[in-house]
Amino acid sequence: MEHRSTILMQRYELVRLLGQGTFAKVYHAKSLRTGQSVALKMIDKDKVMKNGLVEQIKREISVMRLVRHPNIVHLFEVMASKYKIYFVMEYAKGGELFAKVAKGRLREDTARKYFQQLISAVDYCHSRGVYHRDLKPENLLLDEHGNLKVSDFGLSALAESKRSDGLLHTTCGTPAYVAPEVITRTGYDGAKADIWSCGVILFVLLSGYLPFHDSNVIEVYKKISKGDIKYPSWFSSDARKLLTKILDPNPLTRISIAKIKENKWFRKGFIDKKLKNEEETAEIVPSDVAEVFNSYEITNEGKQEPFKVKKLNAFDVIALAAGFDLSRLFEQHDQKKEVRFTSKESVSAIVSKLEEVAKNLKLKFKKNHDGLLKIEGLKEGRKGVLTIETEILEVTPSFHFVEIKKSNGDTLEYQRLLKENVRPALKDIVWAWQDE
């Protein structure tokens, strides 16, 4: 095979290609020093930089150094050459759990064992302030002993990614496994969203198919939002009762991991493996990786940083589309806190207009590093300083969604300002308001 004799960094011999994506390839490799099998993820540095994924790679490294658990793929070291970054990770010889499920449903005892290991790993992640956000059978691997290993922390979030409301706001994950509150874009608790995904995985292991399925993606989202599930006759009543508590579309009443671990069905034969070594992995990311990323950032210093906006995928567009607003299912009252409009103007034109509106209303205007614009009052209102957050989302370079929402202050004051001042002032850049 062409890669059999390829030696990397005088330390690893590539054996065979296991899989590849847009920015990375994963190989089965062997350590020349110990003979140990490893999985070697080879990331194209240039593509990562051009696509603005530097922070994502850094985050994946920092997350994987934080989490060390028997049911999580272990990161041994990170290396870098001029053009590549290499993650050297634990090799899961058993492949994806997905391959097992693809052959048909699993026996209840087998499904329970995998689910117990998954919950142990996810519980550990949450205790370290890490939320996976893309749990699905394809990201669950098996070692040679058939033990589950959670992998792929590329979309994970650290606790510090939360906004001022304490919630995460990035829509991500795989549609069929995503919690309803993630689709609504109203902000979500990362732990509760991961628990929902674990429930979908358990359903798939026990049934061999997805709980929410339809050829029409809108119908899938509607089923997810209602928690509309038909349980197969072969599910035991205890498994069904637990799943009903996990796949609760309301995150506020959805079962917690602590309660799952107390559940009768879950506890059967459960052994909570204690970690032999709970400290963070001692390996340090080599300075050359950090230096490459730093030099990339330094080259942008001194230039006017363009305001960065999130590019929407089809999943986001459907979730935002008029006529498909699921947020009312989770709202505690009728007064909507956010409005959305579409615009055919450029990002800079939208930002300039919003800045002009704030200035005319004698309000403070701030640009945040995370792609948010903030408009703030100058004095305390009835319920604190009125703060309005605006996020611009790119569908195409010439078509944008703009979301305006109150993040602090009095709702009535916000509604009045919006109706009497903000909406009329934005007419030049608005193509259509979503509520019209």
Q: Is 41 annotated as a binding residue?
A: yes
- Residue 6 CB partners (closer than 8 Å, separation 6+): 13, 14
- Annotated active-site residue 288? The verdict is no
Q: Which residue has the tokens 């050297």?
A: 88
Would you say 316 and 393 are in contact if contact means Cβ atoms under 8 Å apart?
yes
Catalytic residue among 109, 123, 134, 325: 134
State the binding site for ATP. 41
So which residues are the catalytic ones?
134
